[in-house]
Structure 1
Amino acid sequence: MFETIQGEGSFTGQPSIFIRLQGCPVGCSWCDTKHTWEIDPEREVSAPVMLSKNAETDEWAEFSIADLLQTIAENGWQAKHIVLTGGEPCMVDLEPLCRVFEESGFSIQVETSGTFEVLVSPKCWVTVSPKVNMRGGYKVLGSAMQRANEIKHPVATEQHVDDLKALLVEHQVTDTPVYLQPISQKERATQLAIDTCIANNWRLSIQVHKYIGIE
C-alpha cells in the first residue's frame, strides 16, 4: 500500500493510493508483480510489518477496510484516488470496500485481468487488461469486458493485437477507450503499439512511472 502517481491509462498523472491485493492464478509470463501470485499462509505478517516494506516481497497481511482508511490517515496521504490492483483483485467481492471509500470521499479504480466477475460499486472505474491464453487457463469474461470503463492491453507482437481485436468483436465492445501498453518498454513493442493505435484510433499507455523512476 503506497501513495504515488498513476502511470497508466486514463488516469495517467493522477495522484493515487495503490492497494495491492495478494493472489493471482492467471499466470502472465511477462507479469512484473509475480511476488503477488501466491497466498502462502506461512508468509503472512502483521499489518505494521507489511507497511514497513519498501521492496517487492511475497509476504502479505490482512487489513480490514477500517485498517486501510486508518493507514491513509496516519501516513498523511493526500491523494483521493484509490487504485485496487494485484495480484488479481477481482478474486474477491470489492463492492463493500468501494462503497466505504466512496462514502469517505475517494474515487476508486480497479485493475483486473477480466478473468473473474467484477464485483464493485456502480461508480468504480474498471480497467480491464484482458489476459488471453495465459498459463492459468482462465478465460476473459464477457461480463468483465462489458463492465470495463477502459481496456488496457499489453502488446509485444501482432498476435497480441489480433487477440484483442477478436475479444472486442466477440463481446461487442465498441465505445470503450482502448489503450495499448508496450510490454517491457521494448522499442519494437513500442513501435507496434504506436502504429496500431494510429491505425485503429486507440490510445497509447507507456507506463510513465517506469520512465521517471517511481513506484
Structure 2
Amino acid sequence: MFETIQGEASYTGTPSIFLRLQGCPVGCSWCDTKQTWDVDNVYKVSLDETVEKKADSDHWAQASAANILALFQSRGYTAKHVVITGGEPCMYDLNPVCNLLHENGFSTQIETSGTFEILAPAQTWVTVSPKINMRGGFEVLTTAMQRANEIKHPVAMQKHVEELEELFVKTGVNPKLVYLQPISQKESATKLAIKTCIAKNWRLSIQVHKYLGIS
C-alpha cells in the first residue's frame, strides 16, 4: 500500500491510495510488477511491513477489509480515492473491502485484466486493461467488458490496436471511454497511440507518474 497520484486514464492527477493485491496467472510479457505474480508463503510478512518496503519484492501480507482500513487510518493517509490493483485483483471478492471503504468516505477503483469475474459494488469504478493472447491462456470475459467504466489498452504495435478492435466485435461491447497506453513509453508506441487516438476519437494514457519519477 502507498499513497501517491494516479497517473493513468480518467483519474490521472487524483491523489490515491494504491492497494496492490498479490497473485496473477495472466502472464503479460511486459508486466512491470512481476513480483506480484506468485503467492508464496515463504514471502509472507506482517501487514505493517507492506508499507515500509523500499523496492519491489515478492513479500505480501494477509489482511481483512477492517485491517486495511485501520492501516490507512494509522498511516494518516489523506487521499480519498483507493485504487485496487495487482497482480490481478479480481481473483478475489472485492465487495467487503470496497463496501467498507465506501462507508468510510472513500471512492474505489479496480484495475483488472478482465480475465476474472468482477465482484465489486456498482459504484466502484472499473478499469479493464484487456489482456489478449497472454501466456496464461485466459480469455477476456464479456461480462468484464460490459462492467468496465473505461478501457485502458497497452499498445506497442499495430496488432495490439487490431486485437482490441476484434475484442470489441467479439464481445459486442462499444465502450464510451477507450484509452491507449504506450508500452514502456517507447517513442514508436507513443506515436502509434497518438495517431490511433486521433483517428478513432479515443484517449491517450501516458503514465504520468513514470514521467514524473514517482511511484
TM range (shorter): over 0.9
1:104 and 2:104 matched: yes
Partner of 1:143: 143
**Partners of 1:161 and 1:48 in 2: how far apart?**
41
Partner of 1:121: 121
CA positional deviation for 1:157: 0.6
Q: Deviations over 1:59-115 (max 9, x none)?
A: 101111111111111111110000000000000110111111101110000000000
**Partners of 2:24 and 2:160 in 1: how far apart?**
21
Give the alignment's TM-score, normalised by structure 1: 0.98
1:10 and 2:40 matched: no
Partner of 2:76: 76
Instruction: Give unpaired runs (5+ residues) of structure 2.
Output: none
Identity %: 64
Give the alignment's TM-score, normalised by structure 2: 0.98
**Partners of 2:87 and 2:21 in 1: how far apart?**
6
CA contact (8 A) 2:151 2:175 kept: no
- Count of residue correspondences: 215
CA positional deviation for 1:35: 0.3
CA positional deviation for 1:176: 2.7
Local SS of the residue matching 2:77: coil
CA contact (8 A) 2:150 2:175 kept: no
CA positional deviation for 1:33: 0.2
Instruction: Give unpaired runs (5+ residues) of structure 1.
Output: none
**Partners of 1:40 and 1:175 in 2: how far apart?**
37
Q: Deviations over 1:131-168 (max 9, x none)?
A: 00000000000000000000000000110000000111
CA positional deviation for 1:206: 0.1
1:49 and 2:57 matched: no
Aligned-partner residue type, residue 208 of structure 2: V
**Partners of 2:39 and 2:12 in 1: how far apart?**
30
CA contact (8 A) 2:98 2:120 kept: yes
1:60-209 mapped onto 2 (5 Å cutoff): 60-209=60-209
CA contact (8 A) 1:148 1:176 kept: no
Partner of 1:213: 213
Local SS of the residue matching 1:153: strand
Local SS of the residue matching 1:97: helix
CA positional deviation for 1:46: 1.2
**Partners of 2:170 and 2:62 in 1: how far apart?**
38
